[in-house]
Structure formats: C-alpha cells, structure tokens
Amino acid sequence: MKKGNIIIKNASELVTCRGFEAKQGKEMNELHIISDGAVIIEEGIIKALGKTEEIVGSIDENNYEVFDASEKTVMPGFVDSHTHFVFGGYRAEEFSWRLRGDSYMDIMNRGGGIINSVKGTMGASKEELIELGKHRLNSMLSFGVTTVEGKSGYGLDYETEIKQLEVMEELDSIHPLDIVKTFLGAHAVPKEYKGKEDEFIDFIIDKVLPVVKERKLAEFCDIFCEQNVFSVEQSRRLLSKAKEMGMKIKIHADEIVRLGGAELAAELGAVSADHLLQASDEGLRAMAESKVVATLLPGTAFSLKEEFARARYMIDNGCAVALATDFNPGSCFTESIPLIISLATLHMNMTPEEAITALTINGAAALDRASEIGSIDVGKKGDVVIHEFPSYKFLPYHIGVSTVEKVIKNGIMVYDKNKIFERM
C-alpha cells in the first residue's frame, strides 16, 4: 500500500464544492453533492469521485487505506484564509475592558491592542513561537482546517517581522497543515513613528519588503487601511510596490470606518479585501466586478460587539464571499470554525450552502489556491474531512460544536477524533 492512497466510500453525502475558481453570487449555493459517494486518492492527489458502486467496484482495495463513510458527510478540508496565529503573549485583560464598554480604538490609544501583542512577540524566542504555533495549528486541524493563512504584523520592525515569517516557514515544513504566509508589517504604527506614518511606510518598502521578497518568506503583502492607522494613499503606495515586486496583495479594509479600502482593493486587483464591516455599496460592487474575494470575519464583529458585515448584500450583488476566523490574541481569540458557521448563518443571513462554499473553494480563492485545494475535484490535493453526521446541514445545526471525525491531508489521515477518545 503506497503512502497517500485512500478510498473513502459509501458517504451519505459527498459534498464536492466543485470548482477551480471563486464562486460569486448565486453560485455560492451550488455544493454539487453526490449521495452514496466515494473518492479515491492516490499518492496524495484526488484521482476519482462519484457514486460508490461506479468507481470502487473494479478497484483492488488492498492497495488503499479504506474508510467506510456510511451515514457520514465527506467534504473538502476547510481553508481558514485570514489568521494571525503566530504571536507571543495574550490580552485577556483587554477583553475584560471591552466587556466593561471600552472600545477597541480606546484600548489601542491607551497602549493596548496590536502594540501590546508586539511586546509579547518581540520578547518570545523563535523556539517558543514554534511551540505555540504547533499547539494552535493542532487545534485548527481538529476543526477540519487543512490550509491556513498566517500573517506577520506583531513586530512592526525588521527583526520581529522576519522572525514571525521564519516561524511560519518552519511550521509549514513540520506540521500537516499547509501555511500560506502573509507579510503584514504595516499592521499598526509603532510609537516612534506616530505622526510620521509616511516614514514608516518608507521603512517597510525600503528595508523589510525587499528581504521578505528575496527570501520568499511571504506570498502576500497586506496592510491595515484604517482611520488613525494607514490612509488609502499610504496603503496604495505599499501595496503597489509589493505588486510591482511580484507579490500578491490583500488589504484589511473598511473595518471600523468607511475609508475606501474596498475601492482600493478593486483598483489594485487585490486577491482579497478583508473585514469590510463599513464597506460602501460602490466599493463592494467594484470588488464584485474586479473579482476581489470579500473575506468576512464574523468572529471579530461578534467579539467586538460590532454590526456584522453585510454578507447578504454582497452575495446578492455578485461578490465572492469567503469566511475566516481572524484568529488573533486581541479582537478575536478563537480558531473555532463551528462558531464562524453559526455566526454566518444565524446572524449574517448566509445559507448553510453559502457558508460552506465560503470556507472551502472561496477560502481557497482568497489565497489564490482554488486550482489546488478547496474542493473535491480530480487533480486537487487529497484534503478531505469526514464529518460524523449524514448531512452537511448538521454543521450549522449543531451550534458551535465540531462535527469533524477524521481529517485527511494529502491523502494521509492526520486527525481521528475516535482515536483521541480511545487514549483517554
């Protein structure tokens, strides 16, 4: 039996999420389900899928690891396309301040927020950050995530930004999850650059970005385009330079104030624009026309007690919407995919089908990887999750609780809920 050879058969529902690009608007409701489905993975790549009797009957199962998915749902691995999972230190006290009524921006102005996490990350060794990262990735894996994006941004200097990206590079080589690295050096304004934001952008462009690009430490460049952080023009300058250097671009856009980040994302051809709680109608329509993925982060709005992004409006107006956790130590300390599904369906008026699309093929598209992952299609990576219930409709129905039983990454089982319980 070759490593990476797997047959999953008799699935009550094989939810393929079929496609090789982002699904926009009404297409997000199309999951392309095969009842009594099977999928064959060889050497880590999906080779066949269809009705069990049609594709498994002539196969010698002795050459494969075989899983019977009777009364279970089989789906693509989830893609968490926006996280900040490499950081040192926690901000539980700030969370309690927010519960008392302090705003996120008030806390930032008092020296909390991102700057607080910068101190903790600067003070942590690379080895400490790797161990913390492993623990967090293991938790993500248990929720069915097989690809995760990770951002730097808790350094705001040369050494710590590079350290974060090096940690993600190391974790990508030793952990089952695929890690997509994003350079977010312009995540906040360091104290020494207050009032000199243009100089800080110069520093990022001249001193840090070239090293990130030369060493291939990140695939994407991102910036926090927000009032009292970085302006539209500063964001345009950094992202344009990154794009000129051959990097793909993302943008934290219109989260707290309607600043024009969505419009900028469309103008520059960003792969995704993220948050978008305050995005204008015009900006969202421009994103739909430019095929910029709208990555929504309902856990953050929930944690900050803010209004949720207008997912229904976006989808109805042709946007491709992705969902992600925004896992970070301050504004959204959760890696829970079930929570994101619950918030999307119960509070953002997304259908279960749209939520699943947003966490699979559209999440992959938000990382420019829809040709490789995000669906169960021939030729894609064998990233597959077996859920313990017979229909995908149990994912939003089992509110806030993971339905994941087994996770298969590149044709190898890397998580089994039942075996964990056997060891207890």
pLDDT tens for the 424 residues of the chain, in order? 578 999 999 999 999 999 999 999 999 999 999 999 999 999 999 999 999 999 998 888 999 999 999 999 999 999 999 999 999 999 888 888 888 888 767 777 777 778 888 999 999 999 999 999 999 999 999 999 999 999 999 999 999 999 999 999 999 999 999 999 999 999 999 999 999 999 999 999 999 999 999 999 999 999 999 999 999 999 999 999 999 999 999 999 999 999 999 999 999 999 999 999 999 999 999 999 999 999 999 999 999 899 999 999 999 999 999 999 999 999 999 999 999 999 999 999 999 999 999 999 999 999 999 999 999 999 999 999 999 999 999 999 999 999 999 999 999 999 999 987 665 4
Pairwise CA distance, residues 249 & 287, whole Å: 14
pLDDT of residue 149: 99
pLDDT reported for residue 85: 98
User: Can you read off the two tokens belonging to residue 294?
Assistant: 């709208």
**Structure token digits, residue 44:** 């880590």
Domain with CATH 3.20.20.140 in the chain: 79-365
Contacts of 204 (CB under 8 A, 6+ apart): 185, 186, 238
pLDDT of residue 424: 46
Q: CATH number of the domain at 6-76+374-422, out of 3.20.20.220, 3.90.1150.10, 3.40.190.10, 2.30.40.10?
A: 2.30.40.10
- Please give the Cα distance from 325 to 300 (Å, whole number): 8
CA 373 to chain centre: 13
The pLDDT assigned to 114 comes to: 81
Which part of the chain has CATH 2.30.40.10?
A: 6-76+374-422
Contact call for residues 254 and 275 (beta carbons, < 8 A): yes
CA-based radius of gyration for the chain: 21
Strands 384-387, 404-409: parallel, antiparallel or unpaired by DSSP? antiparallel
What is the Cα–Cα distance from 195 to 203, expressed in whole angstroms? 14
The DSSP output letter for 20 is: S
- pLDDT value of position 342: 97
Three-class secondary structure of residue 410 per DSSP: coil
Question: Quick one: CATH architecture of 79-365?
Answer: Alpha-Beta Barrel (3.20)
Q: Which residues contact 287 (CB under 8 A, 6 or more apart)?
A: 262, 265, 266, 273, 279, 294, 319
